[in-house]
Chains A and B, each alone.
Chain A
Amino acid sequence: MSTPLLESAIFDPAETLPVPERRALQARRLAETVRRAAAVPFYRDALGRAGAGADAIRSADDVRRLPFTTKDDLRQSYPLGLLAVPRAELARVHGSSGTTGKPTFVAYTRADLDTWSGLVARFLVAGGLRPEHLVHVAFGYGLFTGGFGLHYGIERVGAAVVPAAGGNTPRQVMLIRDLGAEVLVCTPSYALHIAEVARAEGYRPGELPLRFGHFGGEPWTEEMRITLERELGILAFNNYGLSEVVGPGVAGECSHRTGMHVQEDHFLVECVDPDTLAHVPDGEVGELVFTTLTKQAMPVLRYRTRDLAALDRSPCPCGRTGVRMSRVVGRSDDMLIIRGVNVFPSQVEEALLRVEGTAPHYLIEVSRPGSLDEAVVKVEMRPADFRDEMRQLQELHDRIDREIHAVTGVRMTVELVAPNTLERSAGKAQRVLDHRRTGRA
């Protein structure tokens, strides 16, 4: 039997650094980061334009003098243009999906991987993981940072890993049952799917050995947490990260679940109005902006995440002193996260254009009817594309289906609809209806 949750467990004393000490540490590390970033031509130019350099950094607040970095900047530096170290120093490369079908790559030195594992270990321990536990990891292993990120974090804690990866859910249920995993790690929507499959196979809620789970990789709601906890008989913890910053381990919940503790000794977080870029007060929703403080291979300055959340600096009973972030409540751009994959409407448009003769009038409707995201793409039928034979129409439908999958990496349901049936507001077509956003905290 495993030990009960130890609320006071802290993996790394740095998590409880008094605020003034941490701010001093942040200032030092920020200056180092700026110095490192200046080795990258992109940042050297950007810093030059902003009139800022390492010498300008006296306190952590001086981060505001630095230029922003966007996803576009990363894309334009494809594949590894933002490296701040020689290639020989790289230890690993991960990637996230991009709009063009090409991923944006992120790179790690040996020291980066070491730091990253420690950061993941922190939130795992904060949420109850102990060395005697067995953890079932149902994240994809590969370019995605989730699988390997969690894997090495679990090992750092000293717990055992079952690297189950994604897919074949009945088999996942079997592995969890037979190996007796106490902890589940995956996206929250996949956890719900596992719960559904387990139920379909005759398990009643709580019959699997699982006791708690760490879920991340996509935004989820409090309602989903309640369902997960009820269906799997677990405590469900939220964590946050993005490959551009490091991957999972940027922030995570402790057992008090008062928001996700940002690992402030490694990342500076700001919350800004996405339009004006002015800082918003604590408690108000804005776009999160992260500056890495310790990353070597690919430091990022003021990375605009497009994720909308609020910050909370009130003390947490766990003793951690880092600022906490709320759930991600939405995106400041039009990017959709469908089953953990980033999808832009422009990708769907690109797919439609690839299918000769398809009109660009379409609507992406995303919902989460059960546990998994569902995306429906409604495509207006053009008279010129219409054929009397069912077979030809089906072919058109299937071609659109294949292209959307090829470009976005996500399976969407394609619906051919009659012309002029999709609403156009003020001449501009609405491209996305995200029903998941309703009801989100």
Chain B
Amino acid sequence: MKIRQLSLFLENRPGQLRFPCKVLGDAGIDILTMSLADTAQFGILRLVVKEWQRAREVLEAAGVVVNVTEVLAVDVPDRPGGLAGVLEAFEKAGVGVEYMYAFASRERGRHATLLFRLEDPDRAAKLLEAAGVKLVPSDELFARSGA
């Protein structure tokens, strides 16, 4: 169920975002989705790629600090209140959200896909499935995106 996400440490100065993207591009690795978190001092670039091991290798070889974390992909009904409903299920299951961001899905209209970084992802996955929340397996996620 879990999706491997690469987190990259970025200094907060011009050119820092472009560099890892170029490294991945040169290696022919497609970025499926990403999110950038920043403070005045530094940033964290989180991204999902299909070949995460190879991506990690090329990035580390280029001197980028990489951390692998597990996130869960959740389908959210594409209608007003859809996300609130899913989050209600999270709440009832006692699952805390560290952060979340959207997945660029090609199945627009029916549902949106969001990536969640949750406290204790294994336990959270069980609780959410029991609560009827639809988790998207990584294979399906990449297949949907045509990767």
Partner of B65, one of A386, A390, A397: A386
A382: chain B residues at CB < 8 Å are 65
- Write out the residue numbers on chain B whose beta carbons fall within 8 Å of the beta carbon of A283: none
Whether A388 and B44, one on each chain, are in contact in the complex, defined by CB atoms closer than 8 angstroms, is yes
Contact B65 A381 (CB under 8 A): yes
Partner pick for B67 among A388, A417, A419, CB 8 A cutoff: A388
Indicate if the CB atoms of A388 and B7 lie closer than 8 Å.
yes
- Measured CA separation A136–B139 after assembly (Å): 74
Kindly name the residue among B16, B41, B69 whose own CB sees the greatest number of chain A CB atoms within 10 A: B41
Given A381-B9, A389-B98, the answer on whether A397 and B67 have CB atoms closer than 8 Å is no
Cβ of B136: which chain A residues have Cβ within 8 Å of it?
none
Report the minimum CB–CB distance from A398 to chain B (whole Å). 10
Q: Does A383 contact B (CB under 8 A)?
A: yes
One digit per residue, 1 when the CB lies within 8 angstroms of any chain B CB and 0 when it does not, for chain A 387-428 equals 111100110010000000000000000111111110000000
**A417→B7 contact, CB < 8 A:** no
Contact B11 A416 (CB under 8 A): yes
Q: A388-B7, A389-B98 are in contact. Are A416 and B41 (CB under 8 A)?
A: yes
Contact with B along A143-158 (1 / 0, CB 8 A): 0000000000000000
Q: Annotate B104-126 by CB proximity to A: 1 below 8 A, 0 otherwise.
A: 00000000000001000000000
For B16, list chain A residues within 8 Å (CB).
Answer: 418
B contacts with A, residue count (CB < 8 A): 22
Most chain A CB within 10 A, of B5, B9, B37, B39, is at B9
Query: How far, in whole Å, are A418 and B16 apart by their CA atoms in the complex?
Result: 10
CB contacts (< 8 Å) of A421 on chain B: these are 11
Given contacts A383-B65, A386-B67, A393-B42, contact A418 B98 (CB under 8 A): no
- Cβ of B38 to closest chain A Cβ, rounded Å: 9
For residue B132, which residues in chain A have a CB less than 8 angstroms away from its CB? none
Tell me which of B11, B60, B64, B69 contacts A417 (CB under 8 A).
B11
State the CA gap A390–B117 with chains docked (Å).
12
Q: Is the CB of B63 within 8 A of A419?
A: yes
The answer to the question of B66 belonging to the interface, with a C-beta cut-off of 8 Å to chain A, is yes
- In the complex, the answer to whether A416 meets B98 with C-beta atoms within 8 Å is no
Please, which residues of chain A bring their CB within 8 A of the CB of B50? none
Structural contact, A418 and B67, CB atoms closer than 8 A: no
CB of B67 within 8 A of CB of A387, answer yes
| CB-contacts of A260-296 with B (<8 A) | none
Contact check, A390 vs B60: say whether CB atoms are below 8 A apart.
no
A415 to B12, CA, bound (A): 9
Q: Which of A381, A390, A416, A420 contacts B37 (CB 8 A)?
A: A390
Contact with A along B44-82 (1 / 0, CB 8 A): 101000000000000010011111010000000000000
A420 to B63 CA separation, bound complex (whole angstroms): 7
Nearest residue, chain B, Cβ from A416: B42
- Cβ contact within 8 Å between A416 and B63: no
Q: CA A383 – CA B99 in complex, angstroms?
A: 21
Contact bitstring B1-31, A, C-beta under 8 A = 1, else 0: 0000101011100001000000000000000
CA distance A414 to B11 in the complex (A): 12
Which single member of A393, A414, A415, A419 contacts B44 (CB below 8 Å)? A393
Interface string of A197-210 (1 = CB under 8 A from B): 00000000000000
Asked whether A394 lies within 8 Å of B9 as measured between CB atoms, the reply is: no
CB distance from A418 to the nearest CB of B (A): 5
- B41 near A414 (CB under 8 angstroms)? yes
In the assembled complex, the CB of A245 is this many whole angstroms from the nearest CB of chain B, namely 41
Known: A381-B65, A383-B60, A418-B9. A390 touches B44 (CB 8 A): yes
Find out whether the CB atom of A397 lies under 8 angstroms from the CB atom of B11: no
- Which residues of chain B have a CB within 8 Å of any CB of chain A? 5, 7, 9-11, 16, 37, 39, 41-42, 44, 46, 60, 63-67, 69, 98-99, 117
Give the 4 A-B residue pairs with the shortest CB-CB distance, closest first: A388-B7, A388-B69, A386-B65, A383-B65
Some 7 contacts from A to B, beta carbons below 8 A apart, are A386-B66, A386-B67, A388-B44, A394-B39, A416-B11, A416-B42, A419-B63
Contacts A394-B39, A415-B42, A420-B63 known; 12 new A-B pairs at CB < 8 A: A381-B42, A386-B7, A388-B44, A389-B98, A390-B37, A390-B44, A397-B41, A415-B41, A416-B9, A416-B42, A418-B10, A419-B65
